[in-house]
Amino acid sequence: MTIHSQSGRELELKLAIPDGTMDTILRPVAPQALSTQPPRKRREVTTYFDTQDRALAQRGVSLRVRCTEGKNVQTLKADHRDGVAADRAEWEWRTDHGQPDLALLRQTGIANDLPSTIELVQILTTDINRTRSILELRDGTVVEAVLDEGIIIAGDRRETVRELELELRKGDPASIYRLALAMHASAPLTIVHESKAARGYRLRSGGVSGARKAAHIVLTPEQSAAEAFGRIVASSLGHLLTNRTAALSGDAEGVHQMRVAIRRLRAALALFKPHIEPNATSRFEAELRRIGQIFGEARDWDVFCLQLLPNALAAGDAAEWWNFLEPPATARREAAHRRVAHEIHAPEFTSLAIGLAAWAEQGRAGCHLLGDANMARPIEELCPKLLSRLEHKVERRGPHIERRSDIQRHALRKALKKLRYGIDFVAAVYPRKSVRSYLRACKKLQQVLGDINDAVAGTALANRLAEDSRPDLAPAVGALATLLERQRAEAVRRLPKRWQAFSAQPHFWT
């Protein structure tokens, strides 16, 4: 029997707390808060349900029944993580029992595509000691701060929970990020991008989260440039954080996608650079470049170990030598992945993500600290100049491409990536057909430039192995360099045709 129902939206930032700081984590809030209500403590036992084939999870929703002080609440959530914080659609009902009432789901549009009859099973349980505090900040923003400590139980597997949730009740979303930065300065926090339900599903399956590509960004022509910038940054941060678990597990694609996300963030700064505040832009750009180099090294060794060497071995004409390269290359790759893991866990990584989110969010609210007055104009009006500026950098580097050095071609490749990402960001503003044609030519040119770069980088990495007091690797390095040079020369031969096809594309944005 339904006692109460409600629907709304929830903006929530979740942060893992270091051991030993649960009792002190809220102390840095005091200077920023006008008042706080006394904290309320209670135990919450929550059971999550789904079908045997995970029909709800596959649709991005979770269904749970939570028991608190003898009262049951059924909740359906649609999880949308397009940034550092979660932005969710949520439906909630009071019930008299601990099992889900399927009839309630029919009240929500999100459940319309479910089968007419479904059989639910218990997937996981969370047992959490929760402390809630209501914080009223000086700008009038009201935040619910929740400290959770407990466990997630999925079958015979368990995972400890020790985290802080900051949920916006009223006011400016940017204030949540500034509040988090104040707390992070006191105790190093880590952004938690997986919900408890997602972690429970992962525990139950015994697997790890798979790598994910960037989500499509939907903009409208009349949106302000500030709003567009905020959405682009939020999406790119979401892409970065979504792949964190996969990268930490050693998954090469997870590392690759985090590197792509870093490049997309840099591309967003490059696209809007004429109109966003230069000092903040410069600092964010420098930090993104620094961590991008760490991820880039790991990606280079992934390509070397998982693509270049296997392809060379398949060629067969010098396989007996290339086998000598695999052990030291694998050791280098593992060391690079350890540096990636260290970076992900470092306080600077959290500071960067929250700081970028706060900066972009205040721009979405119209704050002048983001940039100049042009950021208030519709994005459709700014796009032509913004894209033409990136395209001009590509055009300067492209003519007579067959006679340019590999360093110059690499510069072209980087400029082309920024242009491609810039187009990806604002593609929804333009007719799909014209954008698709331009991007197709762009990607083909980018592919051949990537083949050249892989061959050049592969030779450089092989030489690094030989320099590690390993003169015995010289024949293997020579054999690999010979093979990679043939591949590079073949790619260079294809380059003029790809450049001509790209140059012939009309500039759909002008």
Split the chain (510 residues) into runs of 10 and give each run's mean pLDDT: 37 86 71 70 94 85 90 83 62 87 76 71 94 87 92 94 92 87 88 88 82 92 94 94 93 97 97 96 97 97 93 75 87 97 96 93 75 94 96 91 90 96 95 92 95 94 87 88 92 94 93
Residue found by looking up tokens 């608190």 in the block = 68
Please, where are the H alpha helices in 243-369? 244-248, 252-272, 278-303, 309-315, 319-322, 326-345, 347-364
Tell the CATH superfamily of the 4-207 domain.
Hypothetical Protein Pfu-838710-001 (2.40.320.10)
- Return the structure tokens found at 283: 């600092």
pLDDT of residue 3: 31
Could you give the residue range(s) of every CATH 2.40.320.10 domain in the chain? 4-207
Instruction: Provide the total of helices (H) and of strands (E) in the chain, helices listed first.
Output: 16, 10
CB of 232 within 8 A of CB of 217? yes
CA atoms lying within 13 Å on the CB side of residue 33 = 21
pLDDT of residue 264: 97
Residue 304 CA to chain centroid, in angstroms?
A: 24
Residue 273 CA to chain centroid, in angstroms?
A: 21
pLDDT of residue 10: 58
pLDDT of residue 438: 95
pLDDT of residue 323: 80
Strand partners, 191: 15
Q: Parallel, antiparallel, or unpaired for β 190-191 and 157-170?
A: unpaired
CATH value of 234-503 in 3.40.50.620, 3.40.50.1110, 1.20.120.140, 1.40.20.10: 1.40.20.10
Could you give the residue range(s) of every CATH 1.40.20.10 domain in the chain? 234-503
pLDDT of residue 1: 28
- Return the structure tokens found at 213: 């590509």
